[in-house]
Amino acid sequence: MVKIGDFDLDAKPAIVSVIDDDPAEDAKAANWLGANLLELRLDLLNLSDLDEMKKIIERIKSNTKLPCIATNRIQSDGGKWEGTEDERIALLIDVLPLVEAVDIELSADEEQRSKVVDAAKEANVTVIISAHDFETTPPVDEMKNIINEAHNAGADIAKLAVMAHTKQDVLDLLQATNDMEKPVCTIAMGEIGKHSRIVAPCYGSLLTYGVIAKAVAPGQIKIHELKSAMEILF
């Protein structure tokens, strides 16, 4: 069984909303629009003070009751974190008692990544290990190897986002998704891969990411549109 907080991902896929520069208001809007989970992008919040972070998360929880995923994305994986790697990892570990899941990059230093994974397991927090390719869609076998590597590194959910340039790229990602036996989240970024955010859950992707208003990744779809599609498919 795979859960994030009380949300059972075996029962149906979840719509995740990214919360960034106005977290309390974004969270309320995401909840109203139909999001199931919230991703707190710590690298976009411009906060380094843990007490302030706690207050923000407490406000979000009191306003929405939605489970939260903490992410502190490094620049190589599309993030905006500007501090040191030690500071980035420490902040992720510090917020673990306040969230239901954590997302750490496969590309992160193995020792640093393991610190987050071990701390999350101890705190009973779901671990997402993510990989991003903003340029291409690798061959199917290579994508499956990346996903397996994430699981071997301790992921409860292996997340893979690739850039699609052709319809075949999208089909390849869906094939890799369908072939996996362990929990995955897969996304084909870009306009040509936009529909993957709706159909990938049909092939086994447990999470799909939507936006309130402005996209933070190529090809993202608004939450209420995803909700309508998910209600038809699931």
Across the strands, what pairs with 81? none
Interstrand relation of 3-4 and 7-8 (parallel, antiparallel or unpaired): antiparallel
Active-site residue 159, yes or no?
yes
- b vs e for 113-140, b when ≥16 Cβ sit within 10 Å of the residue's Cβ? bebbbebbeeeebbbbbbbbbeeebbeb
Do 192 and 167 meet the contact criterion of CB atoms below 8 Å apart?
yes
Torsions phi, psi for 167 (to 5 deg): -65, -35
Torsions phi, psi for 39 (to 5 deg): -105, 115
Type of residue found at 54: K
Question: Which residue, 185, 121, 177, 100, is CA-closest to 144?
Answer: 177
Active-site residue identified among 65, 132, 195, 214: 132
DSSP string, 173-197: HHHHHHH-SS-EEEEEESGGGTTHH
Active-site residue identified among 61, 115, 159, 194: 159
Apex 131 CA angle, 163 and 104, nearest 5: 145
Catalytic residue numbers, as ranges: 132, 159
